[in-house]
């Protein structure tokens, strides 16, 4: 396992100097954020970013993410050009030493929450998803960090209507076409493509979502028979519903060699199916982080892992979910568990 940390570039208040001070941290997970979805990333920008990272003794082997343009998901307009651009981005990143690309196929909206600063009983603030509040939202006027903010409310309404008309099977067809196009390039470049599950793993605002469950992940992996075609397995996405057995998924897909990137965070599932993001420490949420890491350890996971969203603690302000302190605590908590598992395995082998 290689511990990594999400870094949003030179504008990120969490600096590379901060990240390098976290014990056991091997590298950062980042992207070129100045280029619109669908366009080609300049090689100079990729090289500049890599130079910054390496100058601090860190690696840049994971990109999160190369966005998939909405025209690709809908197979309309300029989708063929955008796919060719996507292939070129894979080639450019491979030349820069990138070994894993995280991406998602969520229509219109990326991760969705109803509040970004919900006070928790311990005085920290966290991202939450309250179903009742989401049901009252106007999706054409929503904005969250990381979303594509280039669409007007009218354009968002048009996208929602298009996806509702397309339906789940239409979205599956678009995904299958995209995978068949990009995977030969990824395999040739020896880059692992790791799709992120939908967050949360159910339909939002009547829009179809398809990377949501074990059954659907099986269908996704069957689209292309190559080990480079794999997963970003996220505990906070798949684990925010009791319908998914995340530990089982780790063992199943880990043994198959299809987990290339792991996001680990804890969530507290509420009675109505809503959830609150919590500290990584298992008793703070509904997920057993020790059992999750045991599963990764059992399958001899050699990929990349990062502490996912964190709370805002100790008066920190910044990008919601991506402060320094709580994610650093999560990284050290998981590194400690992993070290213990390594030592226990050594004792057993003796």
Catalytic residue, from 102, 234, 240, 284: name it.
234
Active site residue 228: no
Contact at 8 Å (CB) between 61 and 99? yes
Residue 294: closest CA among 225, 246, 347 = 246
Active site residue 110: no
Catalytic residue, from 69, 229, 260, 263: name it.
263
Contact at 8 Å (CB) between 87 and 188? no
Catalytic residue, from 199, 309, 326, 333: name it.
309
Interaxial angle between packed helices 43-55 and 79-95, expressed in degrees from 0 to 180 and rounded to the nearest 10 = 40
Active site residue 102: no
Catalytic residue, from 71, 199, 308, 326: name it.
308
Catalytic residue, from 69, 196, 228, 297: name it.
196
Active site residue 234: yes
Alpha carbons 161 and 151: distance in angstroms, whole number:
14
Beta-bridge partners for 314: none
Question: SS3 sequence, the chain?
Answer: CEEEEECCCCCCCCCHHHHHCCCCCCEEEECCCCCCCCCCCCHHHHHHHHHHHHHCCCEEEEEECCCCCHHHHHCCCCHHHHHHHHHHHHHHHHHCCCCEEEECCCCCCCCCCCEEEEECCCCCEEEEECHHHHHCCCHHHCCCCCCCCCCCHHHHHHHHHHHHHHHHHHHHHHHHHHHHHHHHHHHHHCCEEEECCCCCCCCECCECCCCCCHHHHHHHHCCCCCCCEEEEEEHHHHCCCCCCCHHHHHHHHHHCCCEEEEEECEEEECCCCCEEEECCCHHHCCCCHHHHHHHHHHCCCCCEEEECCCCECCCCCCCCCCCCHHHHHHHHHHHHHHHHHHHHHHHHHC
Q: How many CA atoms lie within 13 A of 314 on its CB side?
A: 8
Alpha carbons 257 and 301: distance in angstroms, whole number:
8
Catalytic residue, from 8, 322, 325, 333: name it.
322
Residues annotated catalytic, as ranges: 196, 234, 263, 308-309, 322
């Amino acid at each position: 396992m290689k511990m990594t940390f999400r870094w949003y570039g030179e504008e990120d208040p969490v600096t590379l100097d901060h990240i390098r001070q976290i014990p056991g941290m091997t590298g950062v997970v980042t992207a070129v954020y100045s280029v619109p979805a669908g366009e080609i990333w300049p090689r100079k920008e990729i090289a500049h970013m890599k130079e910054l990272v390496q100058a601090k003794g860190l690696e840049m082997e994971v990109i999160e993410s190369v966005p998939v343009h909405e025209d690709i998901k809908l197979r309309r307009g300029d989708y063929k050009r955008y796919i060719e651009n996507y292939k070129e981005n894979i080639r450019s990143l491979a030349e820069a030493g990138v070994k894993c690309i995280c991406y998602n196929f969520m229509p219109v909206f990326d991760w969705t929450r109803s509040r970004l600063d919900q006070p928790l009983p311990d005085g920290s603030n966290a991202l939450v998803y309250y179903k009742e509040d989401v049901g009252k939202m106007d999706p054409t006027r929503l904005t969250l960090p990381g979303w594509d903010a280039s669409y007007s409310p009218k354009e968002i309404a048009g996208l929602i209507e298009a996806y509702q008309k397309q339906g789940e099977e239409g979205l599956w067809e678009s995904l299958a076409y995209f995978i068949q196009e990009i995977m030969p390039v990824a395999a040739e470049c020896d880059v692992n493509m790791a799709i992120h599950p939908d967050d949360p793993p159910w339909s939002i605002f009547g829009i179809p979502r398809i990377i949501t469950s074990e059954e659907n992940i099986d269908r996704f992996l069957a689209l292309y028979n190559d080990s480079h075609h794999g997963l970003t397995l996220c505990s906070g996405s798949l684990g925010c519903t009791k319908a998914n057995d995340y530990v089982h998924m780790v063992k199943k897909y880990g043994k198959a060699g299809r987990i290339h990137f792991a996001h680990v965070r804890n969530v507290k599932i509420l009675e109505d199916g809503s959830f609150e993001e919590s500290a990584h420490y298992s008793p703070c949420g509904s997920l057993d982080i020790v059992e999750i890491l045991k599963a990764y350890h059992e399958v001899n996971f050699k990929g990349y892992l990062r502490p996912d969203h964190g709370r805002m603690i100790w008066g920190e302000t910044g990008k919601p979910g991506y402060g320094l302190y709580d994610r650093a605590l999560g990284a050290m908590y998981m590194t400690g568990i992993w070290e213990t598992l390594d030592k226990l395995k050594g004792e057993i082998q003796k």
